[in-house]
């Protein structure tokens, strides 16, 4: 199912993002397993700046507006869970549960 989320234009988005409605959840991506007590796997689509995370306790979520640099920092973090919570979950990014 495709979900639409209306968002105000935000400085988090690159200047090419001039749409106020994003198709969140429409993107399917491959995830890679990660070593984390909170997360099972992570995927990233640089074309849409979408990060997909699978949680150990269940649920897959997509976060929009995540830069390639932030994704690289997440994957290289000493604690992926801590980085995710601090920089992404608490960072005010739009998200949707996709499964």
Mean of the per-residue pLDDT values for the chain?
80
pLDDT at 66 over 70: yes
- Predicted TM-score (pTM) of the model is 0.75
DSSP sequence for the chain: --EEEE----TTS-TT---SEEEET------EE---SSEEEEEEETTTTEEEEEETTS-EEEEES--HHHHHHHHH-SSHHHHIIIIIGGGT-EEEE--
Q: Which domain covers residue 25, as residue numbers? A: 3-97
Counting the structural domains of the chain, the total is: 1
Instruction: Name the pLDDT band for 28 (thresholds 50, 70, 90).
Output: confident
Residue 22 reports pLDDT greater than 60: no
The region, left, alpha or beta by phi > 0 then psi within -120 to 50, assigned to residue 25 is left
pLDDT computed for residue 1 by the predictor: 40
Give φ, ψ of 20 to 5 degrees: -95, -10
């Amino acid at each position: 199912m495709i979900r639409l989320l209306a968002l105000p234009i935000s400085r988090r988005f690159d200047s090419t993002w001039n749409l106020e409605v994003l198709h969140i959840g429409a993107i399917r991506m491959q995830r890679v397993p990660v070593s984390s007590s909170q997360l099972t796997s992570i995927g990233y689509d640089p074309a849409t700046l979408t990060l997909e995370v699978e949680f150990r306790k269940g649920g897959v979520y997509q976060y929009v507006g995540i830069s390639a640099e932030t994704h690289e920092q997440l994957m290289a973090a000493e604690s992926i869970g801590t980085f995710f919570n601090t920089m992404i979950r608490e960072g005010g990014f739009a998200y949707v549960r996709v499964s």
